[in-house]
Amino acid sequence: MNALGTLLLFPGGLALLLVALLAEWISRKLLARLQNRVGPRWFQPLADTVKLLAKEEVIPEGVHRVLFEFLPVLSLAAVLTAALAVPLFGVVPATSYAGDLIVTVYLLSLLTLCTSLAGLITDDRYAAMGGLRVLSQLFSYEAPFLLALLGPAVAAESWQITRITAHAGSNVWMLFTQPVGFVVAVIGLMGKLELSPFDAPEAHTEIVAGSLTEYSGRGLALFRLSRNVALVVGLTLVAALYLGGVSDPLAFAVKTLALLLVITTVQALFARLRIDQTIGLWWHYGVLLALGQWFLILIGKGAA
């Protein structure tokens, strides 16, 4: 019963979904205010989701039906599974095992893969372009994001999220010891979630809605939800690893929120990068920075 509650109600499942919608609202509202607009009311993301769920799902001609319907479910399942191992709301995660950091990061990537496939299986040319762009972005952002998360892991000498957070909680914030890693992690997260200015894969003035162009109704709702959940999971992960552990749930919530606000503000400030610029930026700077940071940590470890 208890385990089921953890999975379905709190901190996983329902609570996570609601918080994910809340995060979307906070982000949209802040973005609106930064742009001097009014912005949505608090229940708008929920209303959007309900509306989409209630709408007819159009399945375009020429797609693999099963795959088309299965992909959104798979992506939501993937991000919800990813949530199991991270300390959501500062609560002890549902599961913890050696190497769960890697598993979590790759479960998050499964969402991206599903999004890409969703575009590639349709006959739509915008969706196909979007799918290709999602893949290119995945390849360029995966490495720096993972490297950035490995920094704290190396410092804590463990691949297990709970151990790393425990280490992070008992030492100086890694934001200060590994600032480069933090920046790379935040930007990597934005790139991973295709947030502006790294939203070339769904640049709607070029390729309409990118790989999700053909999706409507339930499928679109599930993809949107997974995106939001992935945002919360990603924020939790970065906050837990870089912003001093999870010992105090309230402080942790504040830290995560602050991180969300920072990410949203960054979204408002820049013009969209072209896909080649997005990728170039990462292979030129991101990876090098992350690697450099990593070597520094290793040398530091060796010296100690």
Q: How many CB atoms lie within 10 A of CB 21?
A: 23
Binding mask 123-162 for other proteins (x = CB under 8 A): --xx--x---------------------------------
List 265, 284, 285, 298, residue binding other proteins (CB under 8 A): 265
Nearer to other proteins, 105 or 275 (CB): 275
Verify binding: residue 253, other proteins, rule CB under 8 A. no
Verify binding: residue 200, other proteins, rule CB under 8 A. yes
Peptide bond into 197 cis (omega under 30): yes
Nearer to other proteins, 110 or 190 (CB): 190
Specify the DSSP class assigned to residue 123.
Answer: S
**C-alpha closest to that of 149 among 139, 159, 134:** 159
Region 201-230 residues binding other proteins, contact defined as CB under 8 A = 203-208
Nearer to other proteins, 79 or 190 (CB): 190
Yes or no: say if 180 and 146 are a contact pair by the CB < 8 Å rule. Answer: no
**C-alpha closest to that of 230 among 144, 97, 106, 67:** 106
Nearer to other proteins, 4 or 271 (CB): 271
| Chain Cα centroid distance, residue 229 | 7
Please list, residue by residue across 198-220, b when 16 or more beta carbons sit within 10 angstroms of its beta carbon and e when fewer do.
bbbbbbeeebbbbbbbbbbbbbb
Q: How far is the CB of 146 from other proteins (least distance, A)?
A: 25
Binding region for other proteins (CB under 8 A) out of 102-110, 178-186, 200-208, 284-292: 200-208
Binding residues vs other proteins (CB under 8 A): 32-39, 125-126, 129, 196-197, 199-200, 203-208, 265, 268-277
